[in-house]
Structure 1
Amino acid sequence: MNEMTLHKTAAACAEELPGAQLEHPFGDDWEVFKVRDKVFMLMTEVPGRPVVILKADPGEAHALREQFSHITPGYHMNKKHWITLEDREGVDEELVTDSYRLVVSHVPRAERPVDPHTYGTGTRAAR
């Protein structure tokens, strides 16, 4: 899987989320997606391989790392709360949306662009 496809797939998911914004606070090599100034997805290249880094519930993050070899602890992030995806099959709308909803749930209620408890739940597939 090449970098362009991995990053384009993740970015396409993130760009559809209400209030999501792309920034480059760490330079051109890092694409950082935020909602209300809180990070929910980062994309970069780690020596020769593209990665996507997402926020995750600690229990969910642990389960995903146990189940999928292409999901590892968050690169340069808190290993308990972030996961790194190194393969396109791991970047899907559900994982990106889960990261987004988790971050939105910590935004003050009046500033939330969506209800994190209901947004995106109608299309979720059972895991």
Structure 2
Amino acid sequence: TIAKLRKALPELEKEVRRTSNFVDFYQYAFRYCLTEEKQKSIDIESICMLLDLVLGSQYRAQVDYFIDFLKAQTDYKVINMDQWMGFYRFCNEISFPDFGNYDPDLAWPLILDNFVDWMKAKQS
């Protein structure tokens, strides 16, 4: 019943937010938004909403700035799974907003190199 589901939702959300499960949920959220059979990417507007929904509570500053970047830039019309997963890794691994441990020579998606450059330009 709906009442049972309503009761179960807080526990489900806790389960999804657990670090060991969150990566799977994050991937699932991207795949869920692929509406066409052979679709491999999601438009920027949808990605911005999805990032806010899925990652906003955990990485508010990173998500807000990345959304600003995505809306301001003109090179990318869509985001693919590699870029989507790369941003999650970025949020987990890179000190923000100083990017002290960011190494552009490592295998980051180019869009994240561009994001870091954009942020550094804004900060100077």
Whether TM-score is above 0.5 comes out as no
TM-score w.r.t. length of structure 2: 0.31
Q: Which is strand-richer, 1 or 2?
A: 1
Instruction: Give the structure with the higher percent helix.
Output: 2
Which has the greater radius of gyration?
Answer: 2
Q: Give the TM-score normalised by the residue count of structure 1.
A: 0.31
Structure number with higher relative contact order (C-alpha < 8 Å, ≥ 6 residues apart): 1
